[in-house]
Amino acid sequence: MFERRRQAPPCDVCKQVPTKSESGRFTCGCGVSFVWVNGVKGNPEERARFRQIGYKWISVQDGGYYAMSPYPWIYLFADNTWELDPHIEAPELLTEYLDSVEAIIAMR
């Protein structure tokens, strides 16, 4: 399986993590922007891992899905990328991010 990488990592040029504007676009400090697209439910392996950690799949009114938990919500996209809402700093690889969430849960 290919590693799922973040859709909007910090910008190579200005190093800012893109943030969401009122228009729904994500923009970094130098103005590169992209539009949020509908999320998908991921492959069976990913779905099993999300379920194991305690995420629940929520369908969005205008289409698509996201994975909800007490932690930032996770969107998976059809192009094998992923993102967090809120859009905070996190590892580029989804597997690394999920490892960090599991470590937090294990400490409680």
Binding site for Zn ion (CB under 5 A): 11, 13-14, 28-30
Interatomic CA distance for residues 23 and 76, integer angstroms:
21
Nearest residue to the partner Zn ion, using Cβ? 11
Q: Given the complex with Zn ion, which of 26 and 66 has the nearer CB atom? A: 26
Q: Which structure tokens are listed for 11?
A: 């910008």
The CA distances from residue 56 to 20, 69, 76, 101, in Å, are 23, 7, 13, 15
CB-CB neighbours of 75 under 10 Å: 21
Rounded to the nearest whole angstrom, what is the least distance from the CB of residue 18 to Zn ion in the complex?
Answer: 8
Q: Given the complex with Zn ion, which of 34 and 79 has the nearer CB atom? A: 34
Q: Given the complex with Zn ion, which of 10 and 54 has the nearer CB atom? A: 10
Rounded to the nearest whole angstrom, what is the least distance from the CB of residue 26 to Zn ion in the complex?
Answer: 11
